[in-house]
Amino acid sequence: MAGRPRKSVDASVAKRGKKEKINRKIQEEKLKIDRDNLIAPDFLDEMGKEEFYRVVEETAKIDVLDNLDLSILAIYCNAYSQYIEVNEQIRNTMPALRYNDKGRSSPLLTIQDKLVKQIMSCSSKLGLATSDRLKLIVPADLAENKENKFLKYVV
């Protein structure tokens, strides 16, 4: 499918007929998936599981994640946990490890960079950054059911 990503009916500002809005709303409801299987996988270490449950708890407030996001969330949490471990190793050995004899940077810095990229990629897909959530959340003025002030004149 080419073009722009499809917006939800509530977030869309395009003029649509009532039937089209109702049809799109029904389609969106069919796409809703449960959140009951968002359980941390066994391969995550303790820190990864803590991050997993923290993200699930925080995103439950705005209903962003569902069961299909489990794998991306697990990858994010695993990368996060590894990033913390690599950071500790770098902090403990940094003066000696920044560059080796041949002027190349430490393998730990390369691993750290790759983990940061993986974390950023997954967090973007999951809507963990504010800028990503803004694309998902319905603006407040569009979500409110405004009262029709002319309705009182209709018999």
Span 52-89, pLDDT tens digits: 999 999 988 877 788 888 899 999 999 999 999 999 98
Structure tokens at 35: 């959140």
Check: CB of residue 81 under 8 Å from CB of residue 44: yes
**Is the model's pLDDT at 6 over the cut of 60?**
no
- Where is pLDDT greater, at 133 or 46? 46
pLDDT at residue 42, rounded to an integer: 95
Check: CB of residue 37 under 8 Å from CB of residue 67: yes
pLDDT at residue 83, rounded to an integer: 97
- Where is pLDDT greater, at 119 or 59? 119
Query: pTM for this one?
Result: 0.68
CA angle 1, 37, 140 (to 5 degrees): 60
Structure tokens at 54: 């923290």
pLDDT exceeding 70 applies to what percent of the chain? 70
Q: Return the domain boundaries, the chain.
A: 35-137
